[in-house]
Every structure is written in C-alpha cells, then in structure tokens.
C-alpha cells in the first residue's frame, strides 16, 4: 500500500509526509465545516500558503476543493433541499454575480481590509449565536415579504463579493442569513449553503481565479479527496446529532475564523 502511495505521489513536488499532513488538515477542517456551515478555510487555506503556494493559487485550489465539500455535504442531506429550491435560485441568481465581481477584483484590493471586516463579522456572529440560545434549533414557516426578499438579495450579493475574494467565513454568513430570513434550523440552512455556496459559488470563483495563475495539480487531488470525505462525514455527524451539535460547532468555528482573520489582518497592517 505504501509502495502504491509512493508511486501515486512520486511526481509531486512535496513529500509523502506533507501529502498526508495536508489530507488530514483538509479532512478535519471540512468535517467541522460540514457541521457548522462554513469555515473550511480556517485550516485548509493557511496550510496551502504555508506549503509555499501563492495566495491566489492557494485560494483557487481551496475553492475547487470545497466544491467537493459541497458535493459531499449535499449528497448526505440532499432530501432537505426539496422544499427550498426557490431560495436556492435566489442565492445563485444574486450571489454568483457577486462572486464573479469579487474574483475579478481580488488582484486590485488589499486583503488586510477584507480580512479585518470578515473577521469582525465572524466574531460578532459567534456572540450573536451564543446570546440567542434558540437560534436555529427549530425550523419555522416564515414567508418573507418583498422588503425582506430584497434585503436578502442585497446581502447575498455582498457576501458573494466576499466569497470571490476571500475564502474563510462566507458560508457562515449565508447560513446565519438563511436562519434569520426564513426561520430555518441549522441543518436545513447548512444543507442549502453547501448546495449553493459550496458547489456553485466556489466553482465559479475558482474558475475566475485560475485565470490569475495555474492551480497546483499536485495538491488538488489530495484536497479534493479530503474535502469530499470530510464533507460527507461531517454531514453524517450533523444528521445523527442534530441542531444542538451544529449550533455549538457553528459558534466555535465562527469565533475561531474571526480571531484568525482578525490576527492575520493586524499582522498585514504592521508588515505593510
């Protein structure tokens, strides 16, 4: 088995040990992401950057890998999508233009400001989730009026821009927006997030980012396997343990993503 693995990774520009290390990081980060509704970039993207992959290539690789996360999570909970197709269309119609815009301007904007904004938002989401003990634990039948739908569409477009330019945390924003707008529970909202953001947003974003630089294929296979298996396993755990586990994981991932992005932003301010 080790011999076959050595042959498989023999042409890679990094060691077998590093391949296993990146796979495990990808698997566990995507497992937690599948439970919480986002945050895979907290470990996966920094791991790529630390491996020497340039930021834009790392971001594109991460997005392509999280398409596998979206597929893995959606396959496990696909039955939950049936009643929310109209909401999925809203997320795609208004979110994809934002993703394209964000991916197109990522070369021309300073990452430190985006990290700072998203980091603060993620921390605030964690506190909001903590202070609202019943948030996302049950699913209602709220039908938003026209004003709420317009507001939802605007927020989805803005989150799409962030998704196209940054990796970490945007799935968390979509998840909480679905819960607040449509009174979904966490399991239902996360399933919809993976189907729309995980599969379609990240794929389109990755396509546009690959125009900036080529994607390192030596890492991509490992990331895809880790993301798919982690996504499926995380979705399975969330299905078994329900919304309480999801809410706790969501709050934890939000605070970790927020602190990580905030620290990264502060470092960039001092370095530059």
Domain, as residue range, for 258: 16-271
The domain tally of the chain equals 1
pLDDT at 133: 72
Q: Is residue 252 part of a domain?
A: yes
Counting beta carbons within 10 angstroms of the beta carbon of residue 77, is it exposed (0 to 12), middle (13 to 18) or buried (19 or more)? Answer: buried
Q: Is residue 57 part of a domain?
A: yes
pLDDT at 96: 93
Q: Is residue 1 part of a domain?
A: no
pLDDT at 120: 82
Q: Is residue 185 part of a domain?
A: yes
SS3 per-residue string spanning the chain: CHHHHHHHCCCCCCCHHHHHHHHHHHHHHHHHHHHHCCCHHHCHHHHHHHCCCCHHHHHHHHHHHHHHHHHHHHHHCHHHHHHHHHHHHHHHHHHHHHHHHHHHHCCCCCHHHHHHHHHHHHHHHHHHHHHCCCCCCCCCCCCCCHHHHHHHHHHHHHHHHHHHHCCCCHHHHHHHHHHHHHCCCHHHHHHHHHHHHHHHHHHHHHHHHCCCCCCCHHHHHHHHHHHHHHHHHHHHHHHHHHHHHHHHHHHHHHHHHHHHHHHHHHHHHHHC
Q: Is residue 11 part of a domain?
A: no
pLDDT at 10: 45
CA angle, residues 149, 154, 157, in degrees to nearest 5: 125
Q: Is residue 10 part of a domain?
A: no
> What is the residue-level pLDDT of the chain in tens, covering all 272 positions?
433 334 444 444 446 777 787 788 788 878 877 776 666 766 677 667 666 667 667 777 777 888 887 787 777 666 667 678 889 999 999 999 998 888 777 667 776 777 777 778 778 877 877 787 776 666 666 677 888 889 999 999 999 988 887 766 788 889 889 988 888 888 888 888 888 988 888 888 778 777 766 666 767 788 888 888 888 887 777 777 767 777 777 778 778 877 877 887 788 777 76
Q: Is residue 5 part of a domain?
A: no
pLDDT at 78: 65
Q: Is residue 209 part of a domain?
A: yes
């Amino acid at each position: 088995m080790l011999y076959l693995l050595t042959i498989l990774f023999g042409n890679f520009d990094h060691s077998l040990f590093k391949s296993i290390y990146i796979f495990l990081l990808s698997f566990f980060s995507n497992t937690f992401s599948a439970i919480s509704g986002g945050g895979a970039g907290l470990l996966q993207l920094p791991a790529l950057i630390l491996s020497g992959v340039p930021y834009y290539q790392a971001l594109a690789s991460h997005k392509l890998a999280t398409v596998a996360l979206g597929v893995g999570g959606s396959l496990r909970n696909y039955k939950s999508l049936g009643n929310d197709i109209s909401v999925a269309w809203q997320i795609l119609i208004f979110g994809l233009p934002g993703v394209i815009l964000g991916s197109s301007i990522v070369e021309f904007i300073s990452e430190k400001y985006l990290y700072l904004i998203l980091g603060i938002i993620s921390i605030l989401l964690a506190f909001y989730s903590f202070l609202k003990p019943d948030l996302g634990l049950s699913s209602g039948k709220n039908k938003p009026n026209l004003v709420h739908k317009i507001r939802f569409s605007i927020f989805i477009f803005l989150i799409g821009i962030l998704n196209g330019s940054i990796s970490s945390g945007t799935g968390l924003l979509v998840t909480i927006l679905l819960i607040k707008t449509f009174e979904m529970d966490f399991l239902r909202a996360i399933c919809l997030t993976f189907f729309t953001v995980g599969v379609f947003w990240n794929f389109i974003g990755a396509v546009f980012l690959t125009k900036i630089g080529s994607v390192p294929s030596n890492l991509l296979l490992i990331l895809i396997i880790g993301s798919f298996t982690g996504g499926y396993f995380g979705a399975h755990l969330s299905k078994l343990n329900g919304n309480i586990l999801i809410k706790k994981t969501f709050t934890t991932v939000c605070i970790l993503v927020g602190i990580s992005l905030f620290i990264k932003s502060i470092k960039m301010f001092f370095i530059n």
